[in-house]
Chain A
Amino acid sequence: MGTLCNNHRRYSIIVITILGLLAMVSDDLVAQDVANGQATATVLAALSVTAVKDLVFGNVLQGLPRTVANDAVDAGIFSVWGAGGAGISFYLVLPEYVSLTGDSDRMTISFNATDANIDTTGLSAADPTAFLAANGYANENPHNLSTTNFEAPAATIYIYLGGRVTPTVDQTAGAYTGDILLTVAYDGT
């Protein structure tokens, strides 16, 4: 009889202790709450710039300047592709001269304030001779090009560039080249 009572008492103490522990533990568990929110963003297309065609002056004669118009077949062509509707800005770095390989002689190249056309209509193929003023920005200053927006959805913008070379009367014969650098960036609009 005494053993039975002792067993009951022992079980009771164990049960009470477990309940007490559960009480403490469950208090902590219920007290804290955690929620997971999200941060979301969609990154649109990266800009892509291509020099489609060089500005070509062809054969020039000593002492005779030669001009290529911005709507001539020999005009330089850049294409820019990016996210539709996004605003972009352009910056052209234009050379002051073209030179022979090895820089043994130089020839002046110049760009006036109306030497660029910007076609924003998203044509599938570039054609400077087909450019109309209504197609974008006509006779732009290549030293200070207008900012513009891509057509939506993603589309291509073409820049057509003319220029002028002025050979001296004793210009060394040969093939002259110079780099024209176009930088394009989203402006955040």
Chain B
Amino acid sequence: MRYLFCIIIIFGSILVAPANSWAQNITVINNLTLGNMLPGVPKVISKRSAGAAAEFHISGIAGDEMSIDFSLPTYMNSGTSNMQMVFTTTDCAMDSSSSPDQSEPGNDDLNPWHSITYRLGANGLTIWLGGMTIPKINQRPGNYSAVIVLTVTPTGL
């Protein structure tokens, strides 16, 4: 019986230990904010635009490699109205340095439509995302929004 209790305790430890070794947390620092828009006039938010570009921060153990995946919207919605969104293949940037620099990120012009693999730095990892919306000439006035989903998965490397 004692032998069995020991085994149970060991498994209990295993249960906790791996979870801690890959702990990471995502924080949404900024939403992608396009502000006021005029019907018929497209608007681009650069990934370098502080406060307007979407900004995420991933905290975790330095050196852990993460697979980063966006689920990007193609439309913003306001009630039954929608407005086209476009994300280009260079709309994402990342920086894992101790002082992340949005104007000169460590890894620039990344494709947010593909999985991106990156290692956390001592200060985690900061991710920026720009984008564009294209209102129609007769776009209905109102507040539009869309959800940007960021999924981060440790690769185990």
Contact = CB atoms under 8 A, between A and B. Distances in A.
B11 to A, nearest CB: 4
Interface residues of B, number: 60
Q: Is the interface of B mostly helix, strand, loop or mixed?
A: strand
B62 interface: no
Interface bin, chain A: 20 to 34
A23 B17 CA distance: 9
Interface string A11-32: 0100110011011001100111
B153 A31 contact: yes
A27 to B, nearest CB: 4
A108 B13 CA distance: 96
Nearest to B1: A8
Contact of A44 (B31, B36, B76, B137): B36
B51 interface: no
Contacts of B15: 19, 22-23, 26
A44 B39 contact: yes
B28 A37 contact: yes
Contacts of A15: 8
Contacts of A41: 33-37, 43, 76, 83, 133, 143-145
Contact of A16 (B7, B31, B151): B7
B141 interface: yes
Nearest to A185: B40
B123 interface: no
Given A32-B152, A46-B39, A40 B31 contact: yes
By Cβ-Cβ distance, the 9 closest A-B pairs, closest first, are A41-B34, A35-B26, A30-B19, A186-B38, A39-B32, A19-B11, A38-B31, A37-B148, A27-B18
Interface of B: 1, 4, 7-8, 11-12, 14-15, 18-19, 22-28, 30-41, 43, 54, 56, 58, 73, 76, 78, 83, 85, 129, 131, 133, 135, 137-154
